[in-house]
């Protein structure tokens, strides 16, 4: 079994205590009847394990809830979106758990989700680095059919606000997915009137904030997204340096 499967088991504590648990309690009860997962959880003890697993598990559960919300935002569920999510789950959880999570996603898609309450719960239980990465993933779903529908963008922006992500961070992440030409100033979260010193300062801040090391405990696709974000920041900085002749 993929080690990422244990994330979800470790998340039951807070998931069952809030709106996510109300939405998915029965489905999780069936999923975690898996004996191999039960053995994995039983063989791991200590309070420190609890917090670490919960953080990772929060990410996975939130992934399903918010995936369903974005997929339904434009009143249609496209095969391209479903394929995007299924592929993501398989790569990060393995074939068996990925299939289980896909079935769970289908159940969630049929429900009316109180997305504000769920998103606030995510904010309270997930560190900001993973919340930003989650936002990036949601844009990936929206763009799976080749374009981001206005209703999808509006929902993702609202989710971003509820998750406590700054407007500058939202626009910087969005810039990676819209238009044919990326604006390096938007990526670096600065105005074109910024001084060279302000450009350097913003770059150093973003390098620390979005460094891939902050997502080392996540699956391959999560880490790939983090690297993409990090490389986009570096590329934007290099472009501005060339344009301005900054040494």
Share of the chain above pLDDT 70, in %: 71
User: Distance between CA 230 and CA 51 in Å, rounded?
Assistant: 27
Q: What is residue 20's predicted lDDT score, i.e. its pLDDT?
A: 63
User: Distance between CA 190 and CA 202 in Å, rounded?
Assistant: 7
Counted residue by residue, the chain has a size of 247
Where is pLDDT greater, at 51 or 14? Answer: 14
Please give the tally of structural domains in the chain: 1
Q: How confident is the model at residue 112 (pLDDT cuts 50, 70, 90)?
A: confident
Instruction: List C-alpha distances in Å: 235 to 37, 51, 127, 207, 242.
Output: 42, 35, 26, 12, 11
Give me the domain span that covers residue 153: 5-244
Residue 127 has pLDDT above 70, yes or no: yes
Residue 66 has pLDDT above 80, yes or no: yes
Question: In this predicted structure, which of 54-58, 75-79, 86-90, 97-101 has the lowest mean pLDDT?
Answer: 54-58
Where is pLDDT greater, at 12 or 132? Answer: 132
Q: How confident is the model at residue 221 (pLDDT cuts 50, 70, 90)?
A: low
Task: For residues 212-225, give the mean pLDDT.
Answer: 68
Task: For residues 18-30, give the mean pLDDT.
Answer: 57
Q: What is residue 104's predicted lDDT score, i.e. its pLDDT?
A: 83
Share of the chain above pLDDT 90, in %: 21
Q: The tokens of 135 are what?
A: 């936002």
């Amino acid at each position: 079994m993929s080690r990422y499967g244990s994330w979800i088991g470790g998340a039951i504590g807070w998931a069952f205590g809030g709106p996510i648990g109300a939405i998915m309690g029965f489905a999780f009860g069936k999923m975690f009847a898996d004996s191999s997962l039960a053995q994995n959880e039983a063989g791991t003890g200590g309070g420190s394990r609890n917090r670490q697993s919960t953080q990772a598990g929060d990410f996975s559960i939130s992934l399903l809830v918010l995936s369903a919300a974005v997929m339904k935002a434009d009143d249609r569920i496209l095969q391209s979106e479903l394929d995007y999510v299924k592929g993501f789950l398989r790569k990060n959880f393995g074939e068996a758990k990925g299939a289980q999570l896909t079935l769970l996603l289908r159940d969630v898609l049929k429900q009316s989700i109180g997305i504000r309450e769920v998103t606030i719960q995510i904010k309270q239980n997930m560190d900001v680095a993973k919340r930003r990465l989650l936002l990036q993933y949601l844009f990936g779903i929206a763009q799976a059919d080749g374009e981001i529908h206005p209703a999808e963008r509006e929902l993702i922006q609202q989710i971003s606000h509820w998750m406590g992500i700054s407007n500058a961070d939202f626009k910087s992440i969005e810039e990676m997915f819209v238009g044919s030409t990326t604006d390096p100033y938007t990526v670096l979260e600065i105005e074109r009137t910024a001084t060279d010193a302000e450009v350097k300062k913003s770059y150093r801040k973003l390098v620390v904030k979005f460094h891939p090391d902050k997502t080392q405990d996540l699956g391959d696709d999560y880490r790939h997204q983090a690297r993409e974000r990090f490389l986009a920041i570096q590329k934007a900085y290099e472009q501005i340096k060339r344009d301005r002749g900054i040494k």
